[in-house]
Amino acid sequence: MGEVIGSLEVQIDSVASQFLEESKTKEVLVISHFDTDGISSAAIMGKTLKKLDIIFSLKIVKSLKPELIANLPENKIILFLDLASGSLSHIQNSNLKKVFIIDHHEIDTIVPSNVRIVNPQLNGKEKISSSGLVYLFCKKLSPEIKNFAKLAILGMVGDQMEKEIDKLNHEILDHGEIKKKRGLLIYPATRPLNRTLEYASHPYIPGVTGDQKGVIELLREAGLAPKTGKYKSVLELDSEEMERLVTGIMLRNPKARYSEIIGDVFLIKMYNKLEDARELSAMVNACSRFGESNTALQLLMEVPKAKKKAESIYIKHKQNLISGLDFVSKAEKIKGRGYIIINTKDNVKDTIVGTIASILSYSPEYTEGTIITTMAYYEDKIKVSSRSVGKNGRNVREILSNIINQVGGEVGGHEFAAGCILKQDKEEEFIQLLKKNLEIEMIKV
Ligand SMILES: [Mn+2]
């Protein structure tokens, strides 16, 4: 009970057979994380449980709060995906009798007796996404689910684990209808380049992202002309065209490293069409940011009516992003030594203010160690995001925590990328304290 022995594969076998036994008599409640890996996990599990005629319901959450654990139904089997490894002590202290977890995050304590867990942290720390684990788990429950392997690959790409693919992930790659091709990582690789470049945010290309004229100029420079009115897609480029385009991008953003722009493009079949996994992941994340995780889940389960809805949310998100970047480039900024604060007030959506801070942190305009902070209103609150350029220098979470301790609010994130939420009536006080803290920190460094 709660004991962990042997390899990851043995662990998956044993937990899967216990789950199968338990679910014969009890209903299952699946709770999963709201990012691409979590929603891919939920989609694989949902499809499999349906196949097996197991009665279940699904819930997608942004984070696992102690109150949520305390209020879970005791008569159901609880199955956590892509979360809960850091909440074992709360689960131990709850009245839940049987909890299953499939996750790859850090574990907070010894596995309690009411928990059965699959987590590579306990078995050799193999690098694998939660959706990869869920896929292997579900294959034990029902071997004929091989076509869901594509969702495991999607989760892997969403968690940015595709650079070093470990043994089990390799196996998964061999299963589903997945195509892998080396190329430029600007997504989607499947659509005409002029559209793809206009919305490029990873990397951000100054003078090109959000600028149709700049896009055409870059393409012309790279010797790419439209054929019968249509530009090639990334997938259609030959190696020379690709090299020329990469050169053009790197000239505009010298911070964009070759190893980050070139890599494996993963194509998976959804709704009977090959799609770029990075694009799908961006779409899932956009839906979740808009509070539409269920649409994202339905998209990955290939529910027909979900596709249009997800696409329109994604287009809206991309437009918000482009207009947000445009606003920020022209906006008045508070500049100090080693920092910059952009208060967009109600001109930029709170759903993208963090993405914009990230994009700016990759822009060639700012030197390493600079702290970029963006702010946006929502409801009667302000959402704040801070990034440290080059993931270097001061601890932004600590700085934000210090201030929130004084003005009230919530803080999240980590050392080089953090955010907070505060009341709008604390706006001025927050900015003053932030400036003061950033200046003190600068002196210490
Ligand atoms: Mn994950």
Please give the distance, rounded to the nearest whole angstrom, from the Cα atom of residue 106 to the centre of ligand 1.
11
Among the ranges given (222-231, 344-353, 436-445), the one the predictor scored with the smallest mean pLDDT: 436-445
Domain 8-155 part of CATH 3.20.20.80: no
CB of 323 within 8 A of CB of 346?
no
The predicted-structure confidence for 341-364, as pLDDT tens digits, reads as follows: 999 999 999 989 999 998 888 888
Please give the distance, rounded to the nearest whole angstrom, from the Cα atom of residue 160 to the centre of ligand 1.
9
Confidence of residue 441 (pLDDT cuts 50, 70, 90): low
pLDDT for the residue 444: 55
The predicted-structure confidence for 67-112, as pLDDT tens digits, reads as follows: 999 999 999 999 999 999 999 999 999 999 999 999 999 998 899 9
* Percent of the chain scoring above 70 in pLDDT: 97
Please give the distance, rounded to the nearest whole angstrom, from the Cα atom of residue 39 to the centre of ligand 1.
9
Please give the distance, rounded to the nearest whole angstrom, from the Cα atom of residue 283 to the centre of ligand 1.
16
The predicted-structure confidence for 292-338, as pLDDT tens digits, reads as follows: 999 999 999 999 999 999 999 999 999 999 999 989 989 999 999 99
pTM score above 0.75: yes
The more confident residue out of 90 and 178 is: 90
Please give the distance, rounded to the nearest whole angstrom, from the Cα atom of residue 246 to the centre of ligand 1.
30
Please give the distance, rounded to the nearest whole angstrom, from the Cα atom of residue 278 to the centre of ligand 1.
15
Please give the distance, rounded to the nearest whole angstrom, from the Cα atom of residue 389 to the centre of ligand 1.
24
Contacts of 390 (CB under 8 A, 6+ apart): 361, 368, 369
∠ CA(330), CA(333), CA(334), 5° rounding?
A: 175
Please give the distance, rounded to the nearest whole angstrom, from the Cα atom of residue 37 to the centre of ligand 1.
5
Please give the distance, rounded to the nearest whole angstrom, from the Cα atom of residue 422 to the centre of ligand 1.
28
pLDDT for the residue 399: 94
Domains 8-155 and 332-444 share a fold: no
Please give the distance, rounded to the nearest whole angstrom, from the Cα atom of residue 229 to the centre of ligand 1.
41
Please give the distance, rounded to the nearest whole angstrom, from the Cα atom of residue 335 to the centre of ligand 1.
36
- The rounded Cα 148 to chain-centroid distance in angstroms is 20
The environment of the single-atom ion ligand 1, i.e. residues with CB closer than 5 A, is: 37, 82, 130, 159
Q: Stretch 40-69: mean pLDDT, rounded?
A: 96
Please give the distance, rounded to the nearest whole angstrom, from the Cα atom of residue 104 to the centre of ligand 1.
7
Domains of the chain by residue range: 8-155, 180-325, 332-444
DSSP state of 6: S
The more confident residue out of 244 and 125 is: 244
Distances (CA, A) of 173 to 37, 97, 177, 272, 279: 16, 36, 8, 18, 18
| CATH fold for domain 332-444 | Diaminopimelate Epimerase; Chain A, domain 1 (3.10.310)
